[in-house]
Amino acid sequence: AAKNQRINDSIPKEWRIDTSSLPDNVMDIPATSGILSKTELDITNSSATDLVAELAAGKLKAVDVTTAFCKRAAISHQVTNCALEFFPEMALKQAKELDDFYEKNGRTVGPLHGLPISLKDQLRIKGLETTMGYVAWIDKYDTEDSVLTAMLRKAGAVFYVKTSVPQSLMVCETVNNITGRSVNPRNKHLSPGGSSGGEGANVGIRGGIIGVGTDIGGSIRVPSAFNFLYGLRPSHGRLPYGKMANSMEGQETVHSVVGPITHSVPDMRLFVQSVLEQEPWKHDSKVIPMPWRQSEHDAAVKKITSDKLTLGFFNNDDVVMPHPPILRGVDKVVSTLRENGHEVIDWKPYRHDYAVDLIQGIYASDAGKDIHTVLSASGEPAIPNINDLVDPSISGADITKLWDVQLQKWKFQMEYIEEWNKLEEKLGKEMDAFIMPITPTAAIRHNQFKYYGYASAINLLDFTSVVVPVTFADKNLDKKNESFKPMNDMDKQVQEECKFSGCPRSRTATDKITDDAEAYHGAPVAVQIVGRRLTEEKTMAIAEEIGKLLGNAITP
């Protein structure tokens, strides 16, 4: 209660809105609330690349940009419950220091000078709490910044909000026992995803323009997909993760990675370049000494414009069949690429069922001891979703089993690469990346997220992945395949949530969302573009091209 009161008290009275009768879709509230001026709305509706250019040219002041985003984030939290820390006074002090530096020196401190960036409540900021959704971690204040926080600060970024996560991070919804549930700004009955769901909701309603998330099983990509945003899951070792809070620290079989959630690929690229410019490998020993490779980006752009791309695709991983909006979204991407001269070929997912089983065992390798030890420190109950991934009834792995699992992972990674190589040999040319779903559903109703495999298989492979927003679920276009037979029990569970028929039953205005196509009408649909390991420059360029062809190069 005290933690919630601190968050509420951090919102100035003049930034508060009446939340007693909010509509399901709150996307328009920042513009209609009267809290932001026209200039502030223009600022928060801009791209990050445009804002840093105007800040560098002296056309905007950091204080003004920060004030605009603080106001919008305050609204965002009130309508989506997306914040675990909100600190506008600290942000405005930092922005004033940046303005003073610019006035004195006639230049910026770095490439992100004056740009507000929101952080998942996993990155540490000196002097603030990092609860990560655990009650036991309330009132524990950080004594130093995470490595990435320090680098973003050095580049000139301004911090103003830390966003909500599910208890422990190990869930693709966002609910905890501190602040409760975060909701999707496009429909409060839908999830914003997880575990970076607070980031997804905040950036989705433009309370943020670049948000920082992490991903061990889809936690950047799912919130990006569910909020019609771009998201980068880089390969392990490309961006610094040092000194961040985490669950199951020391689990090294599948690494969590950090990356941006944005409205466009250019903003994503700005973030990655700004971090790599500071040589993070000198501060985090797990980071590979690999600067931004402009030649890789340029080669990809040249191929896009002249030689054309060769991309694989699949819409079904042979474990769970996606719902009709996802199938339509994949079809739309494939047909759009082909219409524009790119070659798109069938890519059969190699043993994804095996990959899903293997990574599920890795997540549960300590039988939930780490998470449940933290829960027992305060006595708080586990959120219901936790045991779906981290079941305390399963015996933990001993060192011999751990070593064996690590060898299985390595062998699978090499087998997958060889399948890719064989296809290229058959084609006589390179397959630049492949297209696949990120989830089997559009943005989903609360407590209904069941299957992580479309995301987690890519974590096991450690491939680079970029989420591209595609379209929205449509009750008139998306028809359920009534003759489909589930492939397994998980598929059966996922298909039971498939409500699309094209003929939703009528309902009165007082009815709650019902189990029909109306429940998902307008839910965001996305795909992920998957490249080989450590191909961030190339994969981002391909994702940017796909976004342009779809008309979603900058998301609304």
pLDDT tens readout for residues 253-310: 999 999 999 999 999 999 999 999 999 999 999 999 999 999 999 999 999 999 999 9
* Amino acid letter, residue 246: N
Q: Is the peptide bond before 195 cis (omega within 30 degrees of 0)?
A: yes
Flag whether pLDDT at 450 surpasses 50.
yes
Flag whether pLDDT at 154 surpasses 60.
yes
Flag whether pLDDT at 213 surpasses 70.
yes
- Least confident residue range of 114-128, 212-226, 271-285, 381-395: 381-395
Question: CB–CB of 517/475 below 8 Å?
Answer: yes
The residues near 488 (Cβ < 8 Å, ≥ 6 apart) are 319
Mean pLDDT of 39-53: 98
Quick check: is 378 catalytic? no
- What's the pLDDT at 392? 64
Mean pLDDT of 221-243: 98
Q: Would you give the distance in Å from CA 116 to the centre of its chain? A: 18
Report residue 513's pLDDT band, with 50, 70 and 90 as the boundaries. very low
Question: In this predicted model, which residue has the larger pLDDT, 162 or 480?
Answer: 162
For residue range 75-121, list pLDDT tens digits in order. 999 999 999 999 999 999 999 999 999 999 999 999 999 999 999 99
- What's the pLDDT at 502? 41
d(CA 66, CA 556): 20
- What's the pLDDT at 393? 66
CA angle 205, 277, 42 (to 5 degrees): 25
Flag whether pLDDT at 378 surpasses 90.
yes
- What's the pLDDT at 507? 36
Please state, as a whole number, how many other Cβ atoms lie within 10 Å of the Cβ of residue 368: 25
Question: CB–CB of 153/108 below 8 Å?
Answer: no
Residue 94 class from Cβ within 10 Å (0-12 exposed, 13-18 middle, 19+ buried)? Answer: buried
Mean pLDDT of 196-201: 98
User: Which is it for the CA torsion 556, 225, 321, 489, positive or negative?
Assistant: negative
- What's the pLDDT at 517? 66
Active-site residue, from 146, 219, 224, 274: 219
Give CB contacts under 8 A, 24+ apart, made by 136-139: 136/374, 136/375, 136/377, 136/378, 136/380, 137/245, 137/374, 138/2, 138/3, 138/178
- What's the pLDDT at 395? 65
β-pairing verdict for 210-215 and 116-120: parallel
Residue 487 class from Cβ within 10 Å (0-12 exposed, 13-18 middle, 19+ buried)? Answer: middle
Say how many Å lie between the first and final Cα of the chain, rounded: 35
- What's the pLDDT at 455? 98
For residue range 128-140, list pLDDT tens digits in order. 999 999 999 999 9
DSSP state of 384: T
Active-site residue, from 195, 196, 235, 365: 195
d(CA 393, CA 193): 26
Mean pLDDT of 348-362: 94
- What's the pLDDT at 121? 98
Question: CB–CB of 259/228 below 8 Å?
Answer: no
Report residue 501's pLDDT band, with 50, 70 and 90 as the boundaries. low
Report residue 555's pLDDT band, with 50, 70 and 90 as the boundaries. confident
d(CA 318, CA 27): 36
* Alpha helix (H) residue ranges in 185-293: 197-204, 221-226, 265-276
For residue range 407-440, list pLDDT tens digits in order. 999 999 999 999 999 999 999 999 999 999 999 9
Flag whether pLDDT at 166 surpasses 60.
yes
Quick check: is 219 catalytic? yes
β-pairing verdict for 310-313 and 343-346: parallel
* Amino acid letter, residue 382: A
Active-site residue, from 71, 120, 188, 538: 120
- What's the pLDDT at 391? 64
- Token readout for 207 is 């309370």
d(CA 500, CA 480): 5
Q: Average pLDDT, whole number, for the chain?
A: 94
Report residue 317's pLDDT band, with 50, 70 and 90 as the boundaries. very high
d(CA 361, CA 171): 15
Reference 299, options 534, 535, 548, 467; nearest CA is 535
Flag whether pLDDT at 41 surpasses 50.
yes
- What's the pLDDT at 510? 39
Q: What percent of the chain has pLDDT over 90?
A: 88
Report residue 397's pLDDT band, with 50, 70 and 90 as the boundaries. confident
SS3 state at 530? strand
Quick check: is 195 catalytic? yes
- What's the pLDDT at 116? 98
- What's the pLDDT at 480? 86
Flag whether pLDDT at 406 surpasses 60.
yes
- What's the pLDDT at 505? 35
DSSP state of 305: I
Report residue 472's pLDDT band, with 50, 70 and 90 as the boundaries. very high
Report residue 500's pLDDT band, with 50, 70 and 90 as the boundaries. confident
DSSP state of 15: G
Task: For 121-190, give the secondary structure using H, E and C.
Answer: CCCCCCCCECCCCCHHHCCCECCCCCHHHHHHHHCCCEEEEEECCCCCCCCCCCEECCCEECCECCECCE
d(CA 309, CA 188): 39
- Token readout for 150 is 């320090």
